[in-house]
Amino acid sequence: MRLKRKNWLVIFASLLLLLLSACGNASESEKVSTESNRQQTDSEVKLGYATCAHCLPMSLTPDYVEDITLEATNFASGNDVLTALVSGSLDVAQVTYLHYITALDKGFDLVAISGQINGGSELLVSKNISLKENDWDGLKKLIEEHKKSGEKLRVAASRGNAQDIHMRGEFILNGIDPVKDVEIINIANPADHASALGKGEVDLISTVEPFASQIRLSGAGKHFAFPYEQAAGNLTNLIVTRSDVIDEKEEELNKVVSGIVKMVGDLEDDKELWIDVLKEHTSLSEEVGREALKNSYPDYQMHQEETLAIVKMMKDLNYIQSDVSDKAVENMDYQFLENATGKIPEELGK
């Protein structure tokens, strides 16, 4: 009996060892699986972009990036994209130089890594206003007439977007005080600009393509000026990220910027590619799309001198509370463009 009991104890101990061994192997397997999943997560990059003629081509970026998973998401406006980036929901964002500077002023961690497309801004007036193209004296006279009547000229833009600062800068350049002389109305979604101008809710609007072309071609309004004489020129789009993303996903960011550079090159060479994007992502006609591209300029460089001019203009307009010139320069990281193009920073806008 003792021998049998002893044999059973040996068998039980052996089974227990096998079971523990199996559990140990399962644990190691679990570690490998977890590590594999972590590696897959690390190679994923989330990118966001706004809805405009020069923003929507960002939807093509995944086609130009290899060996990583790039998820590109469309947002209604640049403000929404910026919010998603600073909250950690995105790794990379297509915003504007204005968003970049505003975020730095608010203390957010933003790093610029590439340009993308510039232009796209246009000032349009109501079809009921008799103003010729670039007739700034006529506009100032109209503004004075409205002030005397007790009702300021109603001017609209999407606050926080490049078109807003372009308009304000152009006003100042032409002797118009954007605070004292006109009433500026914020219409957050550029898609609503055509309706506001067409219904007479505003008299002048600073909007972005393709909505500017939609307004002109539909007869809701007419061209007044391209607001590019102010210090910022036609600078519009900028690709930004956060410093923690650079620390954790530097290799992936190199691939993303390289893809953006290639995509920008293709947009310069093939307008049909651009037209196809607009047709896929908007309900606008091909005619509107082709018209919009006349005011859009692919450009992956990051223009430092003009960025500093924007900082000064925004500070003068009380758009920002502090002078972030040093931050704006310091947080422009040219390494990714250098790696993608083989050029030095001085050839890339620095």
* pLDDT tens for each residue of 266-279: 999 999 999 999 88
* Whole-number pLDDT of residue 107: 96
- Answer for the pair 101, 320: CB distance below 8 angstroms, yes or no: yes
Q: Do 219 and 126 contact (CB within 8 A), yes or no?
A: no
List alpha helices for the chain, DSSP H.
2-42, 78-86, 97-105, 136-148, 162-173, 193-198, 211-218, 243-269, 271-281, 286-292, 304-316, 325-330, 335-341
Cα R_g (the chain), whole angstroms: 27
Domain 121-225 coded CATH 3.30.390.30: no
Q: Which residues of the chain have pLDDT under 70?
A: 1-42
What's residue 204's pLDDT?
Answer: 98
Residue 103's nearest CA partner among 305, 242, 232 is 242
* pLDDT value, residue 51: 86
**Residues in contact with 148: Cβ distance below 8 Å, sequence separation at least 6, in sequence order:** none
CB 310 within 8 A of CB 101: yes
Q: Where are the domains of the chain?
A: 44-119+234-347, 121-225
Per-residue pLDDT at 27: 35
Tell me what pLDDT residue 23 has: 37
User: What CATH number is given for 44-119+234-347 in this structure?
Assistant: 3.40.190.10
Q: Are 170 and 230 in contact (CB under 8 A)?
A: yes
65-109 pLDDT per residue, tens: 999 999 999 998 888 999 999 999 999 999 999 999 999 999 999
How confident is the model at residue 42, as a pLDDT?
A: 57
pLDDT value at position 234? 93
Residue-wise pLDDT tens digits, 196-235 = 999 999 999 999 998 999 999 999 999 999 999 998 899 9
Common-topology check for domains 44-119+234-347 and 121-225: yes
pLDDT recorded at residue 191: 87
Phi and psi at 172, nearest 5°, equal -60, -45
Tell me what pLDDT residue 95 has.
95
Q: Which residue in the block uniquely carries the two structure tokens 């190679």?
A: 43
What's the confidence (pLDDT) of residue 33?
Answer: 30
